[in-house]
Amino acid sequence: YVPSVLQFAAIYLFFFAIASIIFQLAAAYIIGSLIKLSLAAVLDINRSIEKLHKKFTNHEIINDQILHLDIHKLPQSI
């Protein structure tokens, strides 16, 4: 009994399919963890920016100028 070329091809394709599925899962996991890491970094940066902003805008005058700009005082022609 000699296995035919078709049987070899079928087995090869089967294992190739399994390998590609495993590879895709691994790639998805790696990409997902990278996205999580970058999101965490961005959130961390945002937090430190907020801390800096609070530190530098303790004075009421600066707060009023930056945070409470009166849009209605701007020229209407814009």
Residue 55 within any structural domain of the chain: yes
Residue 67 within any structural domain of the chain: yes
pTM of the model: 0.44
Structurally, how many domains does the chain consist of? 1
Q: Which of these, 58, 60, 64, 56, lies nearest to 73 by C-alpha position? A: 64
What would the two tokens of residue 51 be? Answer: 């801390």
Residue 23 within any structural domain of the chain: yes
How much is the pLDDT for 55? 74
Residue 30 within any structural domain of the chain: yes
Query: In angstroms, rounded to a whole number, what is the distance separating the alpha carbons of residues 74 and 78?
Result: 8
Residue 56 within any structural domain of the chain: yes
Residue 78 within any structural domain of the chain: no
The model's pLDDT over 3-14, given as tens digits with 9 standing for 90+, comes to: 788 888 899 999
What range defines the domain where residue 20 resides? 5-73
The full DSSP string for 3-40 is: --HHHHHHHHHHHHHHHHHHHHHHHHHHHHHHHHHHHH
| Structural contact between residues 35 and 43, judged by C-beta atoms closer than 8 angstroms | no
Residue 58 within any structural domain of the chain: yes
